[in-house]
A and B are shown apart, each in its own frame.
Chain A
Amino acid sequence: MGVASLVLGIISIVLSLFGGTWVSALIGIVGIVLGALAKKANPENSGMATAGMVCSIIGTVLSLLVFIACVACAASVGALS
């Protein structure tokens, strides 16, 4: 699970920086959960899981920062499209 978390974290960062969208936020959140599960399952040997969690958190925050626009009003869907 630690490896999966690291892979998802890296994908999340890459997607959020190079044209990825809300998908990178979802991948990042899954990466954080897998990293925490891996750390919980094996606390003594959790280096990979910690790295995965850190990458996933960075990817998720970058996705939120760059891609979520405030378009709460229904009329704004038309404005965006």
Chain B
Amino acid sequence: MGFYVGSFLIPYYGFFIALGVCMAALCGYVQVKLFHLDVNDFTIIASLVGLGGVVGAKLLYLIVSWRQIDVSRLLEWEYLNSIMVGGFVFYGGLMGGLLSLLLCARIGKLPVLRYVHVCMPCIPIVHGFGRIGCSLVGCCYEGPLAQVYENSLFAPNHVPLFPVQRTEALANLMIAAILLFYIDTRRTRKKNSLCIYLLLYTPVRFALEYFRNDSRGAFGGFSTSQWISLGLFFAAILYWLSSRARERKTGRDS
């Protein structure tokens, strides 16, 4: 589950999420400086997106796994605490983060799109590092293939399993690299990083869901994450097409 520093137990997942957040913050800071944006605005937006992301990820987790939650024990501090520190759904976090962005733009009057287009690789960086933590613990395993756990609380031990979390971690870090290349080679031109991220990540997640042993809700032959992947994929295509049409129209008008 983790490693000890003195008498402190550091869980692998917490360690890798914290490492991912630090790496993403560093990447965002470099991008903001590179594109001459305001570091304070970036800090405010990133923090609020993080807060929205955590709340969204937890809410979707509670929705999809409500059957496993004993409502009568919610007033017990230890039980409530165990629910709050463990169990997040990535897509809930993504949607919570997007909602936070919308609130930053509407209420805080911040130019969020400029920051989104430049700092989008931060999301797959945090996600990729988090998946390495999941892989070390044995969350959402599936087989059969190469990964063998010896002492996991969640995955079956001594059985060869498909390394689904490592695959997703690698895919996320590759998406981050592609996005960085796309953004930094289009210094002055219009960028559409959010669409590209969704178009790259959602098919990967849709395919990997077949290899995950994730019991958190399924209907119509697809898991919750596969339905959300489909919805986000088509939403990104529609957004892309509409922004292209808008660009052409403004080009003709001018």
Contact = CB atoms under 8 A, between A and B. Distances in A.
Interface of A: 21-22, 25-26, 29-30, 32-33, 35-37, 39-40, 53, 61, 64-81
A21 B78 CA distance: 11
Given A77-B68, A80-B82, 18 more contacts: A33-B44, A36-B43, A39-B40, A66-B10, A68-B14, A69-B137, A70-B137, A71-B87, A73-B139, A73-B214, A77-B69, A77-B83, A78-B68, A79-B154, A80-B86, A81-B70, A81-B82, A81-B83
B230 interface: no
Which of A21, A30, A33, A72 has the most B CB atoms < 10 Å from its CB? Answer: A72
A61 B139 contact: no
A64 B215 contact: no
Nearest to A17: B8
B51 A29 contact: yes
A4 B154 CA distance: 41
B73 interface: yes
Contacts of B247: none
Contacts of A36: 40-41, 43-44, 47
Interface residues of B, number: 52
Interface in B1-56: 1, 8, 10-15, 17-18, 21-22, 38, 40-41, 43-44, 47-48, 50-51, 54
A57 B33 CA distance: 20
A75 B139 contact: no
A61 B140 contact: no
B85 A73 contact: no
